[in-house]
Structure 1
Amino acid sequence: MILGLYEAHLPVSNLQKSIEFYSNLGLEMAWKDEDTAFFWIEREKSWIGLWQGEEHKTSYHPSLRHIAFRVSYEDLKDSLNWLRSIHVTPVPFGKRDSIDPFVRPNQGNASVYFNDPDGNSLEFMCFIDVPENLKNISTKLSIEEWEALLNESN
């Protein structure tokens, strides 16, 4: 029945500033009006709606103001350089001190986090193949730690 995610929405304080930010991420504008803009995440498959209004003052919580964009593992590894090249500052996730991409072996994914101009939490995320003997690791590992573990397990 469910084929994928169609849309997600975020509140913004300044639509034009947000349009520039999301355009810099490489997203293509689908349509806009005076207080709303939609960008394709995957053309004709999924989009993100940006809504200008007072709702941007809502306190952050991942269930309210978070979007994860799917990327390749190789792009994730270079994501810090890419984000900095478009003047976006990566941020640590949760209680981590590091901004570096990290792997969650028990979930089979890897991530890096950053914020939009209104403090909405954005994430680049990818699926990873996890060997059976490493699927019980619940610690968040740096890419370097993960790749070292992979090399040891082979």
Structure 2
Amino acid sequence: MIKGLFEAHLPVSDLEVSISFYKNLGLDMAYRDEETAFFWIEKGMSWLGLWEGKEVQTPYHPSLRHIAFRVEYEFMKQSLNWLKERNIEAVPFGTREKIDPFVRPYQGNASVYFNDPNGNSLEFMCSVPVPNHLRNHASCTLDEWEVLLEDKVQ
């Protein structure tokens, strides 16, 4: 029976630059050799492998060069500041123009996106409570979502 995801991999052009970037995200290195580095996402449970090589030239597509890190809801509310403190710029997702964390009620999650130095798409993602009356609501910013939740309580 599947229990979770143990590993994921991304291509990089400069392993040293990438190691520095992922350490800046707070990940601990698990293993390293000349062409690869592995970082614990959850120690002993899941890790991310970075592979230096020409594969980094593969054009971005979410099925090939994307990782979503699970975070807590409270962290999501501070994620833009957290990224900014580390000199990492958030980026809009898809056709969105805003970089703010946003909620997908139909999926029950919130996300904010950013890129690593190699153009790999990274995402912070958390679960959000979705009352029945909001299940079909359109995607909106996390701030807008919190207003919608407060309106129902009052």
Q: TM-score range by the shorter chain?
A: over 0.9
Give a deviation string over 1:2-42, Cα, whole Å, max 9, x none.
10110000000000000000000000000000000000000
The alignment covers a number of residue pairs equal to 153
Q: Return the letter of the residue paired with 1:126.
A: C
Report what 2:39 is aligned to: 39
CA offset at residue 151 of structure 1?
A: 1.1
Give a deviation string over 1:109-139, Cα, whole Å, max 9, x none.
00000000000000000011111111112x2
Are residues 1:85 and 2:75 paired?
no
Q: Return the letter of the residue paired with 1:141.
A: C
Separation (CA, whole Å) in 1 of partners of 2:84 and 2:147 = 26
Give every structure 1 segment of 4 or more consecutive aligned residues whose post-TM-superposition deviation is greater than 2 Å.
Answer: none
Are residues 1:23 and 2:45 paired?
no
Give a deviation string over 1:31-64, Cα, whole Å, max 9, x none.
0000000000000000000000000000000000
Report what 2:150 is aligned to: 151
Report what 1:49 is aligned to: 49
Are residues 1:14 and 2:3 paired?
no
Are residues 1:3 and 2:7 paired?
no
Separation (CA, whole Å) in 1 of partners of 2:75 and 2:123 = 13
Separation (CA, whole Å) in 1 of partners of 2:78 and 2:20 = 22
Are residues 1:118 and 2:118 paired?
yes
Report what 2:139 is aligned to: 140
Point out where structure 2 has 5 or more consecutive residues left out of the alignment.
Answer: none
Separation (CA, whole Å) in 2 of partners of 1:104 and 1:79 = 17
User: In percent, how many aligned pairs have the same letter?
Assistant: 65
Q: Return the letter of the residue paired with 2:139.
A: K
Point out where structure 1 has 5 or more consecutive residues left out of the alignment.
Answer: none
Give a deviation string over 1:53-109, Cα, whole Å, max 9, x none.
000000000000000000011101100101010110100000011000000011000
CA offset at residue 143 of structure 1?
A: 1.2
